[in-house]
Amino acid sequence: MKSMEAPLQQHIRNVINRFKESIRKILQKDKPAGTPRERSSVSSLRIMIGKEIGDHIYSWRFVILIGIILLACIGSIYGAVSAIRGGSLDNNTGGDEFLFLRMFTLTSTSLSIPSFTTFLSWMGPLIGIALGFDAVNSERNKGTLGRLLSQPIYRDDFIIAKFMAALFLIFVVVFSLGFLVMGLSLFTIGYPPTPEEFIRIVMFLFIAVIYIGFWLNLSILFSIRFRQAATSALSSIAVWLFFTIFYSMIIGLVNSATAVPQTADVSAQLRQMNLVLMLNRLSPTELFSETITTLLTPGIRSLGPLTMDQLVGAISSPLSLGQSLLLVWPQLTCLIAATMVCFGISYALFMRQEVRSRA
C-alpha cells in the first residue's frame, strides 16, 4: 500500500524548502521581528522538545526507572567503598594510582553488588528502551499524529524532537548519576580526583549517553515499525536480552566448535582468538564495556591478544588519557555509527509512512 519513491521526493523537497527558508531568513535579517506567523521552524522544534521532555518527566515509568537506577547507584557506591575499606585494593596491581576511578569499577567481594559501570551497562539500555518504545506508535494510536502533522511543522521535526528530548533526558540522568557517584565518593573516601581522572569520568559518562542513545534509537525504530506499543517494547527488550545474555553464550558455542588445539601454531591460535573477538564486537554491549573498562582502568594497554614478543621492553605503567582514547577509538566510532544507522533507518521509515489517524 506504499509508494516508495514519492515520499522520498517529498522529503527532498522539504529539505530544499527548508534551505530556501533559511536563506530567506538570512536575507530578511535586518527586518524587524516578524509577525508570529513568520517565525522559524526552529522555535516549533524547541516547543515540541519541551513538550516531550515534560511528558517524560511526568510519566510514571520515568519516575520508577529513576528510582531503580538511583538505588542501584547508591548500592554500587556502598559496594565499592566497602571493597576499598576491606583492602581488596592490595590484590590489584595498580596500587593506589587512580583510586578515584576505582569507585566506578570496583566490586565488593563480600557483598555481591555489581559496580557502577556494570549497572550502567545493564540498566542503561532499559532507560533508552523505556523512553523510546512508544514514541511514534502511541501518537499514531491516540490519533494525535495526524493532528500534529497538520500544524505548520516539518515532518522530520517530529521525529527529531522525539529523539532529542529523550536524549537530553538521558544526558541529564547519566551525568547527574555520574556526578552523584563522584560526590558521594569524595564524601566517603575523602580522596579528590586528579584532572585526568575527572576527564576520564566525564568521557565515560558521555560514552554511556551514546550507548543509551543507541538503545533509544533502536526502540524508536521499533515504535515506527510496529503499530502496537507492546510489540515494540517486547522486541526492544528481546534485542537487549539477546545481546546481554544470549550473545556471549552463542559466542562461547562458536568458540568451542571452531576451537584449535592447544598444540596448534601461534598464527592459528591468533586467528581463532581474533575471530571470537570480532564476533564479540558485533554486540554494542561488548563495544561499550570495552570502551569503559579502557577509559576507567588506565592499566589496560590492549583489547586484543598480545604476544610475549610485543610486551618485551614495554614499561609497566598506566596509559595516558590520549593513548587510552586511541585504543578505544574504533569501538567508539562503531557505537556512534550504530546509533546513527538506527536513527537513519527510523527517519527514512517515518518519512515514508502514511499519516492516517489510527489506520
**Does residue 257 contact residue 158 with C-beta atoms inside 8 Å?**
no
Helix (H, G, I), strand (E, B) or coil at 150: coil
Grid coordinates of 243 = 545481546
**Pattern 80-119, another protein, x by CB under 8 A:** ----------------------------------------
**CA 275 to CA 258: how far, in whole Å?**
10
Type of residue at 279: L
* Distance set, CA 87 to CA 99, 112, 184, 188 (Å): 12, 16, 19, 15
Phi/psi at 340 (nearest 5 deg)? -65, -40
If binding is defined by CB under 8 A, does position 7 make contact with another protein? yes
Nearer to another protein, 253 or 359 (CB): 359
Region binding another protein by CB under 8 A among candidate stretches 24-32, 164-172, 306-314, 348-356: 348-356
Tell whether residue 1 is a contact of another protein (CB under 8 A).
Answer: yes
Cβ closer to another protein: 136 or 205?
136
Number of residues that bind another protein (CB under 8 A): 41
Region near another protein per CB under 8 A, out of 31-39, 210-218, 236-244, 322-330: 31-39
Return the number of the residue (139 or 286) whose C-beta is nearest another protein. Answer: 139
Residue in the structure block whose three cell numbers are 570502551: 291
Q: Rule CB under 8 A: say whether 36 interacts with another protein.
A: yes
List 42, 142, 282, 317, residue binding another protein (CB under 8 A):
142
**Binding status of residue 356 toward another protein by CB under 8 A:** yes
Give 25 or 301: the residue with its C-beta nearer to another protein. 25
CB 97 within 8 A of CB 318: yes
Cα dist. 289→105, 246, 297 in Å?
11, 16, 12
Phi, psi of 112, rounded to the nearest 5 degrees: -90, 65
d(CA 123, CA 165): 19
Binding site for another protein (CB under 8 A): 1-3, 6-7, 9-10, 13-14, 17, 36-39, 41, 43-44, 47-48, 51, 55, 58, 139, 142-154, 354-358
